[in-house]
């Protein structure tokens, strides 16, 4: 049998990784969006669907 301390060391959780999130948009930021239509091929047939890409500027 192993000593209790050896068992405890093996069962230790991995070190935590700190995740830094980017700061949010500034007070004078503007959201810019570009929208368009795309063909999407589906089993029932080809359809046209709207798409929109947005980002913050400022």
Closest CA to 58 of 12, 24, 18: 24
Q: Output the pTM of the full model.
A: 0.47
- CB contact at 8 A, 52 and 33: yes
Q: What is the structure's pLDDT at 22?
A: 73
- Of residues 9 and 25, more confidence is placed in 25
- Report the C-alpha gap between 35 and 48 in whole angstroms: 13
Judge whether residue 13 has pLDDT over 70.
yes
SS (H, E, C) 13-50: CCCCCCCCCCCCCCCCCEEEEEEEEEEEEECCEEEEEE
pLDDT at site 53: 95
- Residue 19 — very low, low, confident or very high, per pLDDT cuts 50/70/90? confident
């Amino acid at each position: 049998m192993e000593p209790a301390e050896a068992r405890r060391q093996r069962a230790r959780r991995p070190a935590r990784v700190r995740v830094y999130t980017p700061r949010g948009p500034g007070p004078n930021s503007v959201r810019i969006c570009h929208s368009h239509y795309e063909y999407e091929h589906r089993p029932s047939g080809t359809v046209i669907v709207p798409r929109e890409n947005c980002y913050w500027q400022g």
